[in-house]
Amino acid sequence: MQDTTGAQTHEDGNALAGPLSAVFAHDMTTAVGRCLSCAAERPLAEVSVWSHGPGLVARCPGCDAVLLRLVRTPRGSWLDMTGLSRVLLPV
Amino acid sequence: MTSTSARLGGRVGVRPGWQVATLVDAWAESPSARTLVLDVPGWPGHAPGQHVDLRLTAPDGYTAERSYSIASAASPGTASSVGPETVPDAGPTRVELTVQRVPGGEVSTYLADAFAVGDTIEVRGPVGGWFVWHPTGTTGPLDPAPVLLLAGGSGVVPLTAMIRARRAAGSRVPFRLLYSVRRPEDRLYTRELGVPHPGDDGVDVTVLYTRSAPLDARREPGRMTPADLAAWGWPAELGPACFVCGPTGFVEAAATMLLALGHEPARIKTERFGPAGD
Protein backbone atom coordinates (compact mmCIF):
# COMPACT_ATOMS: atom_id res chain seq x y z
CA MET A 1 0.00 0.00 0.00
CA GLN A 2 1.16 3.49 -0.70
CA ASP A 3 0.10 7.09 -0.25
CA THR A 4 -1.82 8.00 -3.37
CA THR A 5 -3.07 11.46 -2.51
CA GLY A 6 -4.56 13.34 -5.40
CA ALA A 7 -5.77 10.39 -7.40
CA GLN A 8 -9.50 9.72 -7.55
CA THR A 9 -9.11 6.03 -8.21
CA HIS A 10 -10.51 3.47 -5.84
CA GLU A 11 -8.56 1.12 -3.67
CA ASP A 12 -9.85 -2.11 -2.20
CA GLY A 13 -11.06 -3.48 1.09
CA ASN A 14 -7.54 -4.09 2.38
CA ALA A 15 -7.62 -0.36 3.16
CA LEU A 16 -10.47 -0.99 5.62
CA ALA A 17 -8.27 -3.12 7.88
CA GLY A 18 -6.95 -0.33 10.07
CA PRO A 19 -10.08 1.81 10.37
CA LEU A 20 -12.29 -1.21 11.10
CA SER A 21 -9.78 -2.54 13.65
CA ALA A 22 -10.86 0.43 15.77
CA VAL A 23 -14.41 -0.96 15.75
CA PHE A 24 -14.21 -4.75 15.57
CA ALA A 25 -12.09 -7.29 17.42
CA HIS A 26 -12.00 -9.55 14.34
CA ASP A 27 -9.93 -8.71 11.24
CA MET A 28 -12.73 -7.60 8.94
CA THR A 29 -10.76 -7.92 5.69
CA THR A 30 -11.09 -11.71 5.94
CA ALA A 31 -14.78 -11.49 6.86
CA VAL A 32 -17.11 -12.56 4.05
CA GLY A 33 -19.89 -10.09 3.37
CA ARG A 34 -23.05 -10.55 1.34
CA CYS A 35 -24.23 -7.63 -0.78
CA LEU A 36 -27.82 -6.69 0.09
CA SER A 37 -28.37 -5.56 -3.49
CA CYS A 38 -27.04 -8.47 -5.59
CA ALA A 39 -26.37 -11.17 -2.96
CA ALA A 40 -22.78 -11.70 -4.11
CA GLU A 41 -20.48 -12.85 -1.33
CA ARG A 42 -16.83 -12.01 -1.07
CA PRO A 43 -14.18 -11.21 1.55
CA LEU A 44 -14.35 -7.55 2.49
CA ALA A 45 -10.71 -7.28 1.29
CA GLU A 46 -12.07 -7.58 -2.24
CA VAL A 47 -14.67 -4.81 -2.19
CA SER A 48 -13.98 -1.44 -3.85
CA VAL A 49 -13.10 1.38 -1.49
CA TRP A 50 -13.06 5.13 -2.05
CA SER A 51 -11.14 7.00 0.62
CA HIS A 52 -10.85 10.49 -0.85
CA GLY A 53 -14.03 11.91 0.65
CA PRO A 54 -14.73 12.77 4.26
CA GLY A 55 -14.90 9.08 5.10
CA LEU A 56 -14.50 5.62 3.63
CA VAL A 57 -17.09 4.26 1.19
CA ALA A 58 -17.07 0.58 0.24
CA ARG A 59 -18.96 -0.62 -2.80
CA CYS A 60 -19.78 -4.01 -4.29
CA PRO A 61 -17.39 -4.63 -7.23
CA GLY A 62 -20.20 -6.56 -8.94
CA CYS A 63 -23.17 -4.20 -8.78
CA ASP A 64 -21.63 -0.97 -7.40
CA ALA A 65 -24.08 -0.76 -4.47
CA VAL A 66 -22.79 0.93 -1.33
CA LEU A 67 -21.93 -1.77 1.23
CA LEU A 68 -20.40 0.20 4.06
CA ARG A 69 -19.58 3.75 5.07
CA LEU A 70 -17.29 4.84 7.88
CA VAL A 71 -17.03 8.52 8.75
CA ARG A 72 -15.28 10.12 11.69
CA THR A 73 -16.82 13.32 13.02
CA PRO A 74 -16.15 15.41 16.10
CA ARG A 75 -19.16 13.70 17.66
CA GLY A 76 -17.91 10.20 16.97
CA SER A 77 -17.45 7.55 14.30
CA TRP A 78 -20.43 6.69 12.10
CA LEU A 79 -20.53 3.18 10.72
CA ASP A 80 -23.26 2.34 8.21
CA MET A 81 -23.36 -1.30 7.11
CA THR A 82 -26.91 -1.39 5.75
CA GLY A 83 -25.61 -2.50 2.33
CA LEU A 84 -24.45 -5.81 3.80
CA SER A 85 -27.19 -8.34 4.54
CA ARG A 86 -24.82 -10.50 6.57
CA VAL A 87 -21.18 -11.00 7.43
CA LEU A 88 -19.38 -14.28 8.12
CA LEU A 89 -16.40 -14.11 10.45
CA PRO A 90 -14.28 -17.16 9.54
CA VAL A 91 -12.83 -19.22 12.36
CA MET B 1 -1.45 21.86 5.33
CA THR B 2 1.91 21.70 3.64
CA SER B 3 3.90 18.57 3.94
CA THR B 4 6.61 20.30 5.91
CA SER B 5 4.10 21.42 8.50
CA ALA B 6 3.13 17.85 9.24
CA ARG B 7 4.70 17.14 12.57
CA LEU B 8 3.87 15.01 15.51
CA GLY B 9 4.42 17.63 18.11
CA GLY B 10 3.42 17.90 21.73
CA ARG B 11 0.77 15.24 21.72
CA VAL B 12 -0.80 14.79 25.11
CA GLY B 13 -2.14 11.33 24.54
CA VAL B 14 -2.21 8.64 21.91
CA ARG B 15 -5.57 7.29 20.81
CA PRO B 16 -6.44 3.66 21.53
CA GLY B 17 -5.07 1.33 18.89
CA TRP B 18 -2.26 3.72 17.98
CA GLN B 19 1.24 3.90 19.35
CA VAL B 20 4.23 6.13 18.89
CA ALA B 21 7.08 4.78 16.77
CA THR B 22 10.53 6.26 16.26
CA LEU B 23 12.49 6.38 13.02
CA VAL B 24 15.79 4.64 13.76
CA ASP B 25 17.25 4.29 10.26
CA ALA B 26 16.46 5.23 6.68
CA TRP B 27 18.03 4.95 3.25
CA ALA B 28 17.22 5.69 -0.38
CA GLU B 29 15.82 2.61 -2.12
CA SER B 30 15.62 4.38 -5.50
CA PRO B 31 15.75 8.06 -6.55
CA SER B 32 12.05 8.32 -5.65
CA ALA B 33 11.66 5.83 -2.80
CA ARG B 34 12.96 5.65 0.74
CA THR B 35 13.06 2.78 3.17
CA LEU B 36 12.20 3.64 6.78
CA VAL B 37 13.08 1.50 9.78
CA LEU B 38 10.69 2.21 12.62
CA ASP B 39 11.10 1.07 16.18
CA VAL B 40 7.65 0.20 17.49
CA PRO B 41 7.69 -0.76 21.18
CA GLY B 42 5.64 -3.84 21.85
CA TRP B 43 5.37 -4.76 18.17
CA PRO B 44 3.53 -8.09 18.16
CA GLY B 45 5.10 -9.36 14.93
CA HIS B 46 3.38 -9.65 11.59
CA ALA B 47 2.72 -11.87 8.60
CA PRO B 48 4.24 -10.87 5.22
CA GLY B 49 1.74 -8.84 3.21
CA GLN B 50 0.28 -6.99 6.19
CA HIS B 51 0.42 -3.22 6.43
CA VAL B 52 0.43 -0.42 8.96
CA ASP B 53 -1.43 2.86 9.07
CA LEU B 54 0.69 5.93 9.76
CA ARG B 55 -0.72 9.18 11.12
CA LEU B 56 0.77 12.64 10.96
CA THR B 57 -0.59 15.48 13.06
CA ALA B 58 0.02 19.10 12.15
CA PRO B 59 0.39 21.83 14.80
CA ASP B 60 -3.16 22.98 14.06
CA GLY B 61 -4.52 19.51 14.81
CA TYR B 62 -5.07 18.47 11.21
CA THR B 63 -4.28 14.80 10.80
CA ALA B 64 -3.54 12.66 7.78
CA GLU B 65 -3.50 8.87 7.75
CA ARG B 66 -2.02 6.59 5.12
CA SER B 67 -1.44 2.87 4.78
CA TYR B 68 1.96 1.41 3.97
CA SER B 69 2.85 -2.22 3.38
CA ILE B 70 5.45 -3.75 5.63
CA ALA B 71 8.63 -4.63 3.72
CA SER B 72 10.46 -6.63 6.36
CA ALA B 73 10.05 -10.31 7.07
CA ALA B 74 8.09 -11.17 10.16
CA SER B 75 10.01 -10.22 13.25
CA PRO B 76 11.93 -13.03 14.93
CA GLY B 77 9.97 -12.43 18.08
CA THR B 78 6.74 -13.66 16.48
CA ALA B 79 7.49 -17.32 16.05
CA SER B 80 10.37 -19.44 17.22
CA SER B 81 10.46 -21.25 13.88
CA VAL B 82 11.28 -18.08 11.99
CA GLY B 83 14.97 -17.84 11.23
CA PRO B 84 17.44 -14.97 11.24
CA GLU B 85 16.08 -11.58 10.35
CA THR B 86 17.19 -10.25 7.00
CA VAL B 87 17.51 -6.63 8.01
CA PRO B 88 20.80 -5.67 9.63
CA ASP B 89 20.37 -4.74 13.26
CA ALA B 90 16.72 -5.60 13.09
CA GLY B 91 15.11 -6.55 16.34
CA PRO B 92 11.66 -7.78 17.16
CA THR B 93 10.37 -4.22 17.46
CA ARG B 94 11.81 -3.01 14.15
CA VAL B 95 9.48 -2.60 11.20
CA GLU B 96 10.69 -1.67 7.74
CA LEU B 97 8.54 0.26 5.24
CA THR B 98 9.40 1.56 1.78
CA VAL B 99 7.71 4.82 0.81
CA GLN B 100 7.36 5.81 -2.83
CA ARG B 101 7.29 9.58 -3.18
CA VAL B 102 4.05 10.64 -4.91
CA PRO B 103 4.30 14.17 -6.38
CA GLY B 104 1.87 16.28 -4.40
CA GLY B 105 1.35 13.57 -1.80
CA GLU B 106 1.16 15.32 1.54
CA VAL B 107 2.24 12.27 3.52
CA SER B 108 4.63 10.49 1.17
CA THR B 109 6.66 13.62 0.46
CA TYR B 110 7.05 14.26 4.17
CA LEU B 111 8.10 10.67 4.87
CA ALA B 112 10.45 10.56 1.89
CA ASP B 113 12.07 13.96 2.32
CA ALA B 114 11.66 15.45 5.79
CA PHE B 115 11.07 12.67 8.30
CA ALA B 116 14.40 12.36 10.12
CA VAL B 117 16.02 9.70 12.26
CA GLY B 118 14.85 10.30 15.83
CA ASP B 119 11.49 11.74 14.74
CA THR B 120 8.33 10.04 15.92
CA ILE B 121 5.10 9.09 14.21
CA GLU B 122 1.86 7.38 15.18
CA VAL B 123 1.45 3.81 13.97
CA ARG B 124 -1.49 1.41 13.94
CA GLY B 125 -0.93 -2.20 13.09
CA PRO B 126 -0.06 -4.67 11.86
CA VAL B 127 -3.43 -4.85 10.12
CA GLY B 128 -4.94 -6.87 7.29
CA GLY B 129 -5.14 -10.64 7.37
CA TRP B 130 -6.27 -11.27 3.80
CA PHE B 131 -3.33 -10.36 1.57
CA VAL B 132 -0.78 -12.50 3.44
CA TRP B 133 1.35 -15.56 2.83
CA HIS B 134 2.12 -17.83 5.76
CA PRO B 135 5.60 -19.37 5.33
CA THR B 136 5.55 -21.70 8.30
CA GLY B 137 1.95 -22.27 9.27
CA THR B 138 2.54 -20.58 12.62
CA THR B 139 0.74 -17.38 11.64
CA GLY B 140 -1.94 -19.00 9.49
CA PRO B 141 -2.72 -22.00 7.33
CA LEU B 142 0.33 -23.49 5.60
CA ASP B 143 -0.08 -23.65 1.82
CA PRO B 144 2.59 -25.77 0.07
CA ALA B 145 1.54 -24.63 -3.43
CA PRO B 146 3.93 -22.59 -5.58
CA VAL B 147 3.58 -18.84 -5.26
CA LEU B 148 3.14 -16.36 -8.10
CA LEU B 149 3.83 -12.73 -7.23
CA LEU B 150 2.77 -9.98 -9.65
CA ALA B 151 4.03 -6.52 -8.74
CA GLY B 152 3.24 -3.19 -10.34
CA GLY B 153 5.64 -0.44 -9.23
CA SER B 154 5.84 -0.13 -5.46
CA GLY B 155 3.41 -3.04 -5.20
CA VAL B 156 6.64 -5.01 -4.97
CA VAL B 157 6.97 -4.00 -1.30
CA PRO B 158 4.62 -6.51 0.37
CA LEU B 159 5.64 -9.16 -2.15
CA THR B 160 9.28 -8.65 -1.18
CA ALA B 161 8.21 -9.15 2.44
CA MET B 162 6.92 -12.57 1.35
CA ILE B 163 10.25 -13.41 -0.33
CA ARG B 164 12.11 -12.28 2.79
CA ALA B 165 9.80 -14.32 5.01
CA ARG B 166 10.37 -17.36 2.80
CA ARG B 167 14.13 -16.88 3.18
CA ALA B 168 13.91 -16.32 6.92
CA ALA B 169 11.81 -19.45 7.38
CA GLY B 170 14.06 -21.61 5.18
CA SER B 171 10.98 -22.41 3.07
CA ARG B 172 11.46 -24.33 -0.20
CA VAL B 173 8.13 -23.27 -1.71
CA PRO B 174 8.87 -22.27 -5.34
CA PHE B 175 8.31 -18.55 -5.98
CA ARG B 176 8.07 -16.58 -9.19
CA LEU B 177 7.95 -12.81 -9.16
CA LEU B 178 6.98 -10.74 -12.21
CA TYR B 179 7.86 -7.14 -11.44
CA SER B 180 6.44 -4.48 -13.76
CA VAL B 181 8.28 -1.18 -13.43
CA ARG B 182 8.68 1.86 -15.64
CA ARG B 183 12.44 2.20 -15.89
CA PRO B 184 15.54 0.54 -14.47
CA GLU B 185 16.08 3.41 -12.02
CA ASP B 186 12.59 2.95 -10.57
CA ARG B 187 13.33 -0.58 -9.35
CA LEU B 188 13.25 -1.27 -5.63
CA TYR B 189 15.48 -3.80 -3.86
CA THR B 190 17.46 -4.04 -7.09
CA ARG B 191 20.45 -5.88 -5.68
CA GLU B 192 18.48 -8.18 -3.41
CA LEU B 193 16.05 -9.23 -6.14
CA GLY B 194 18.51 -8.96 -9.00
CA VAL B 195 21.19 -11.46 -8.08
CA PRO B 196 20.75 -14.91 -6.56
CA HIS B 197 20.50 -14.24 -2.85
CA PRO B 198 21.58 -16.85 -0.29
CA GLY B 199 18.47 -18.74 0.69
CA ASP B 200 16.59 -17.66 -2.42
CA ASP B 201 17.06 -20.84 -4.46
CA GLY B 202 13.70 -21.41 -6.04
CA VAL B 203 12.83 -17.72 -6.33
CA ASP B 204 12.74 -16.59 -9.96
CA VAL B 205 12.50 -12.86 -10.62
CA THR B 206 11.51 -11.40 -13.99
CA VAL B 207 11.52 -7.63 -14.41
CA LEU B 208 9.13 -6.27 -17.05
CA TYR B 209 9.92 -2.68 -18.02
CA THR B 210 7.04 -0.59 -19.29
CA ARG B 211 8.81 2.59 -20.52
CA SER B 212 12.51 1.97 -21.04
CA ALA B 213 14.53 -1.18 -20.61
CA PRO B 214 18.23 -1.98 -20.30
CA LEU B 215 19.97 -3.80 -23.15
CA ASP B 216 19.86 -7.14 -21.35
CA ALA B 217 16.11 -6.98 -20.64
CA ARG B 218 14.11 -10.06 -21.49
CA ARG B 219 11.77 -8.23 -23.83
CA GLU B 220 10.88 -4.85 -25.32
CA PRO B 221 9.35 -2.27 -22.98
CA GLY B 222 5.59 -2.52 -22.55
CA ARG B 223 2.87 -3.40 -20.12
CA MET B 224 2.56 -6.92 -18.78
CA THR B 225 0.78 -9.26 -21.19
CA PRO B 226 -0.72 -12.76 -21.01
CA ALA B 227 2.34 -13.92 -22.95
CA ASP B 228 4.55 -12.66 -20.11
CA LEU B 229 2.48 -14.55 -17.57
CA ALA B 230 2.60 -17.69 -19.70
CA ALA B 231 6.36 -17.43 -20.16
CA TRP B 232 7.46 -16.49 -16.65
CA GLY B 233 4.54 -17.29 -14.35
CA TRP B 234 3.19 -20.66 -13.21
CA PRO B 235 0.71 -22.68 -15.24
CA ALA B 236 -2.78 -22.61 -13.75
CA GLU B 237 -2.69 -26.42 -13.51
CA LEU B 238 -0.22 -26.15 -10.62
CA GLY B 239 -2.76 -24.19 -8.60
CA PRO B 240 -0.33 -21.51 -7.48
CA ALA B 241 -1.22 -19.02 -4.78
CA CYS B 242 -1.30 -15.73 -6.70
CA PHE B 243 -0.64 -12.37 -5.05
CA VAL B 244 -1.13 -9.23 -7.14
CA CYS B 245 -0.25 -5.78 -5.80
CA GLY B 246 0.09 -2.41 -7.46
CA PRO B 247 -1.91 0.51 -8.79
CA THR B 248 -5.57 -0.29 -9.37
CA GLY B 249 -5.25 -0.42 -13.17
CA PHE B 250 -2.34 -2.85 -12.99
CA VAL B 251 -4.07 -5.11 -10.48
CA GLU B 252 -7.31 -5.32 -12.43
CA ALA B 253 -5.50 -6.03 -15.71
CA ALA B 254 -3.31 -8.68 -14.09
CA ALA B 255 -6.21 -10.37 -12.29
CA THR B 256 -8.19 -10.47 -15.54
CA MET B 257 -5.25 -12.12 -17.32
CA LEU B 258 -4.85 -14.71 -14.56
CA LEU B 259 -8.53 -15.63 -14.80
CA ALA B 260 -8.29 -15.89 -18.59
CA LEU B 261 -5.31 -18.24 -18.18
CA GLY B 262 -7.47 -20.52 -16.02
CA HIS B 263 -6.37 -19.59 -12.50
CA GLU B 264 -9.04 -20.16 -9.87
CA PRO B 265 -10.56 -16.91 -8.58
CA ALA B 266 -10.12 -18.14 -5.01
CA ARG B 267 -6.36 -18.52 -5.60
CA ILE B 268 -5.92 -14.87 -6.64
CA LYS B 269 -5.46 -12.31 -3.88
CA THR B 270 -5.19 -8.67 -4.78
CA GLU B 271 -4.23 -5.40 -3.17
CA ARG B 272 -4.81 -2.08 -4.96
CA PHE B 273 -3.31 1.16 -3.86
CA GLY B 274 -4.99 3.70 -6.05
CA PRO B 275 -3.74 5.64 -9.02
CA ALA B 276 -2.90 4.30 -12.42
CA GLY B 277 0.66 4.92 -13.46
CA ASP B 278 2.04 1.58 -14.56
Residue-by-residue DSSP string for A51-70: -SSSEEEEE-TTT--EEEEE
Minimal Cα–Cα distance from A38 to chain B, Å?
19
Q: How many domains does chain A have?
A: 1
The predicted pLDDT at position B138 comes to: 78
Q: Is the pLDDT of residue B84 over 80?
A: no
**pLDDT top residue among B160 and B77:** B160
What ipTM does this complex have? Answer: 0.91
Give me the domain span that covers residue A25. Answer: 11-86
Q: Tell me the pLDDT tens digit for each residue of B128-142.
A: 999 999 988 777 888
Section A11-18 average pLDDT:
97
Confidence category of residue A3, pLDDT binned at 50, 70, 90? low
pLDDT mean across residues, chain A: 92
Which of B7-21, B187-201, B203-217, B225-239 has the lowest average pLDDT?
Answer: B7-21
The answer to whether A43 touches A32, Cβ cutoff 8 Å, is yes
Does residue A3 form part of some domain?
no
Q: In what order do the strands lie in the sheet with B203-209?
A: B203-209, B175-181, B147-152, B241-246, B268-272
Identity of the amino acid at B252: E
Residue A88: closest CA among A36, A44, A46: A44
pTM score? 0.90
Q: Which residue of B has its CA nearest to A21?
A: B127
Position A19 in a domain: yes
pLDDT of residue B2: 41
A:B CB pairs within 8 Å: 118
Q: Which residues of A touch B108 (CB under 8 A)?
A: 2-3, 5
Domains of chain B with CATH codes: 3-127 (2.40.30.10), 147-272 (3.40.50.80)
